[in-house]
Structure 1
């Protein structure tokens, strides 16, 4: 971001544009959590909702993937098709399915809070598969491990301890709380909902880890996402064919139902995806990730105003632990990158030309270690925190 100050749009430097874009992105994702809960409150099927949402996302992604990645997109083979199918099973079907089941039994605020643990879970999975190295003799390694443990502890507190009500929330201040939403939460299973949300985070992290080797062989980010989205639609349609026998569930009964699906498809899966790719490309994945807790705060405010959501002591304690763990992991990753950059530059040895030979040959640069490859662009690497953008 060294040259960010030099690029201006309407008199605003690029650094300021990035911060504004990230704040807008968090508001967009926060609105998605609330809108999804409103959709469930209206009685929209948990299978029909993701089908329509991913169809909209697919229609938005395909044109960009086709025209922007003509030269970068390898030929589709059976092996790639199987990998895309598995990515869809993990990153869309299981991810979104567990999210809706968890959201239906808990609340938007706690769904957003638990999502802050995704970077830590991704790190743990990558370390278990030896993709990520863990050095406990360094500060960055200790920070990543401590952050992961804090996220696990926070998710455990939210799941196992609900606690007393800290804040009851206004009674549908904006008039969006219907009879079903106003019903007591005793009909919901809070612990089971949190387990579903943990499954959602595990699926999401698994998708990020599995996506990395696929992108090395198929370096076309938009095309990979489009194929994944396509297979996700197919999988949801197959599941819905067996489990959703009511044909009336596929119809829109009100403008509010239509709005929730359009918001999920266009804003959360289309506009947010484009904004996030630009922010990651210009600011880096860590810059994008540090804004994630802002989403939890915005969700809490929105859900309190629109849904009359209650806040429980266990959820607040768990959210604090998860957010602290998130920042520890991000700090560890940042320190690790800085250390590797220093070591790489220090290991490079400049050997001057042989003076006795009397030649004007240029200095030879030898390195004791292999130089790290240049970082991939945002369109050829998995996004760190994609939230619900697929």
Structure 2
């Protein structure tokens, strides 16, 4: 029993805490990626070449770890698994990244981050429709999960749409450079773009992302090798983008690096936003579930607002404080609701086992009750094993 507890700890940190730390770090990495991607587009990097290089870097980063660490646990690759990985790549890489770059090119990093806050609601709806996530509106835990998700989306919307009085101003006086004086700031602000078209692309990006989050759960049940699933997904994503680029990117010079800044943006996108982020995210999906991952998405908008304030000299307004409070409240409601749900299911399973007359009947009824939450938001206690 002690070995089971220790196996779920890293540096003395229990797995539940690891999940929260990993998701917070993931949001910081993605927040920086918004600005880095906008910089890449501003420098003229092709919207087809950029994701190809990004996923190639991620693939080379993930493959060695997937091969050696999951050598004994990786199931045999069959045609059925290959087809599933192909569609995961089509949804989670090709459509997801393609729509994102098209949307970002017509909007701004802050707006792109804000609209992504629809991902928790979309993921919650998809997971509930597929019965991956159970929702009981006649119980407190079900209502808490729904209200928490809405509070997260509302908090991120407040940050974006409502300013209010200035709470923090990093630059005093009127010596702050204007958008016209600094072309990069104008690019970050998304000036001169078709915002309506950008919204359409970003909505497609959110739908693709949510579908990818949900579809990974049943795949991981049958193929419980997280890094291998990510590697195969990246591989098929590269193939799909190469085929698209062969038809639509006719300029051979688009594949050549012209500056160190271009190399940096691609390396950041490949190592942080794809390689590291994909590995962390798929681990969190496996251990915590798709809704747990998606519900942290609004935190990213808060991080982008802070980064913009510190790096671009933007002011921090009361709306940001109110939005942050809503986000924290929403996260608490969702996680509390899931914790209450798991506690109730555990008590019902224990009562059913005690009331059963035969050992075989007890096992069947316990399995049915335990499977009533097929995709937990949080893992069970550290003394049990829960493989999604």
**TM-score, normalization: structure 2?**
0.75
Conserved? CA contact 2:217–2:285, under 8 Å: no
SS of the residue 2:362 aligns to = strand
Structure 1 residues 89-138: Cα deviation after superposition (integer angstroms, max 9, x where no partner): 10101111122222222322333333344233212012223333331211
Please identify which structure carries the higher helix content: 2
Contact 2:56 2:238 in 1 (8 A): yes
Equivalent in the alignment of 1:113 = 114
Mean Cα displacement is larger for which, 274-283 or 261-270?
A: 274-283
What is the CA-CA distance between 1:188 and the residue it aligns to? 1.7
1:245 aligned residue: 250
Q: Where does 1:1-390 land on structure 2 (aligned, <5 Å)?
A: 9=11, 13-14=12-13, 18=18, 23-148=24-149, 179=183, 181-182=185-186, 185-274=190-279, 292-307=297-312, 327-349=332-354, 366=362, 369-371=365-367, 372=370
The answer as to whether partners of 1:90 and 1:204 remain within 8 angstroms in 2 is: yes
**Residue 226 (structure 1) shift:** 1.0
Mark the CA change 1:286 to 1:330 in structure 2 (over 3 Å): closer, same or farther. Answer: farther
Alignment deviations for residues 22-75 of structure 1 (CA, whole Å, 9 cap, x no partner): 654443332222211211222211111111000000011111111222222222
3-state DSSP class of the match of 1:70?
Answer: coil
Which moves more between the two structures, 75-84 or 245-254? Answer: 75-84
Tell me whether 299-308 or 88-97 shows the greater mean CA deviation: 299-308
In the alignment, the residues of structure 1 paired with residue 327 and residue 49 of structure 2 have an alpha-carbon distance, to the nearest angstrom, of 31
Q: 1:61 to 1:248 in 2, by over 3 A?
A: same
Comparing 40-49 and 141-150, the one that deviates more: 141-150
State how far apart, in whole Å, the 1-side matches of 2:320 and 2:50 are.
Answer: 27
Secondary structure of the residue that 2:242 maps to in structure 1? Answer: helix
C-alpha contact (below 8 Å) 1:146/1:328 kept by paired residues: yes
Unaligned stretches of 5+ residues in structure 2: 380-385
CA contact (8 A) 1:37 1:108 kept: yes
Within 1, Cα distance between the matches of 2:131 and 2:291? 21
Say which is worse superposed, 316-325 or 143-152, in terms of deviation: 316-325
TM-score by length of 1: 0.74
Secondary structure of 1:349's counterpart equals helix
Are residues 20 and 73 of structure 1, via their aligned partners in 2, closer, same or farther at CA, if it must alter by over 3 Å? Answer: closer
- For the 8 Å contact 1:47–1:244, the answer to whether it is kept is yes
182-191 or 217-226: bigger deviation: 182-191
The C-alpha deviation readout for 1:200-233, integer Å capped at 9, x for no partner, is: 2211111122222222222222211111111101
Secondary structure at 1:229 match in 2: helix
Tell me, in whole angstroms, the C-alpha distance in 2 between the residues paired with 1:37 and 1:247: 22
Check whether the contact 1:348–1:366 (CA below 8 A) recurs between aligned residues.
Answer: yes
Query: How far apart in 2 are the matches of 1:245 and 1:115?
Result: 31
- Residues 283 and 73 from structure 1, CA distance in 2 versus in 1: closer, same or farther, beyond 3 angstroms? closer
**Partner Cα separation in structure 1 for residue 361 and residue 96 of structure 2:** 47
SS of residue matched to 1:197? helix
Q: Which runs of 5+ in 1 are unaligned?
A: 354-362, 383-390
CA deviation map 1:130-169 (0-9, x unaligned): 33333121112223333455567778999xx967898799
SS where residue 92 of structure 1 aligns? helix
Residues of 2 paired with 1:316 and 1:308: CA distance? 17
Distance in structure 2 (CA, Å) of the matches to 1:208 and 1:58 = 19
* Alignment size in residue pairs: 365
Taking the aligned partners of 1:68 and 1:267, their CA distance within structure 2 comes to 20
Moved more, 134-143 or 300-309: 300-309
**Distance of aligned partners of 1:88 and 1:279 in 2 relative to their CA distance in 1, 3 Å threshold:** closer
